[in-house]
Amino acid sequence: MELEKIAKTEAEWRALLTPEQYHVLREKGTDRPFTGKYTDTKDGGTYACAACGLELFESDTKFDSHCGWPSFYDAKPGSVEMHEDGTFGMRRIEVTCARCGSHLGHVFPDGPRPTGQRYCINSASVSLKLSKPTDPV
């Protein structure tokens, strides 16, 4: 199934997002390390793009990387796209939302098994949809 792309003007994105989200998602900014809302979150659920709501990462793929940003070892199939990023004199792989093209973070080949990947994602670029609590037995 083909993912329907979302296209908005920058004025529409500005009206929809907080200034911090706009900077990260649309201007390829970054959270300051160890300050993001989801850096140490352990809650169960699904992390979605803060711009368009596309589900990106399951909480059971999140791990403590101690790098200062939320880290995941895998993304939901078809949810992200990768692009070469040569900014700041570094060679990195940028991760963007497959539906709206928003900047999420970068991926590095130093993560845990089973993928060996570390998706280093800005807290401002995602929102956590908590799992429904189970009914007590």
Q: Which CATH number covers residue 88?
A: 2.170.150.20
CA 49 – CA 114 distance, rounded (Å) = 24
77, two tokens: 């199939």
Residue 136 lies in a domain: no
Residue 94 lies in a domain: yes
114-127: per-residue pLDDT in tens? 999 999 999 999 99
Provide the mean pLDDT of the chain.
93
CA 71 – CA 123 distance, rounded (Å) = 10
Examine the pLDDT at 10 and tell me if it is beyond 80.
yes
107-116: per-residue pLDDT in tens? 999 999 999 9
Residue 5 lies in a domain: no
82-95: per-residue pLDDT in tens? 999 888 788 899 99
As a whole number, mean pLDDT of residues 7-32 equals 96
Residue 123 lies in a domain: yes
Examine the pLDDT at 134 and tell me if it is beyond 60.
no
Residue 136 — pLDDT band, cuts 50, 70, 90?
Answer: low
Predicted local distance difference test score (pLDDT) of residue 87: 82
- Whether 49 and 104 have beta carbons less than 8 Å apart is answered as yes
Phi, psi at 111, each rounded to 5°? -90, 180
CA 92 – CA 108 distance, rounded (Å) = 8
As a whole number, mean pLDDT of residues 63-89 equals 94
Residue 67 lies in a domain: yes
Number of domains in the chain: 1
| Catalytic positions | 120
Enumerate the β-bridge partners of residue 128: 47
Q: Which domain holds residue 43?
A: 10-129
Phi, psi at 135, each rounded to 5°? -70, 140
Least confident range of 34-38, 45-49, 50-54, 83-87: 83-87
Residue 72 — pLDDT band, cuts 50, 70, 90?
Answer: very high
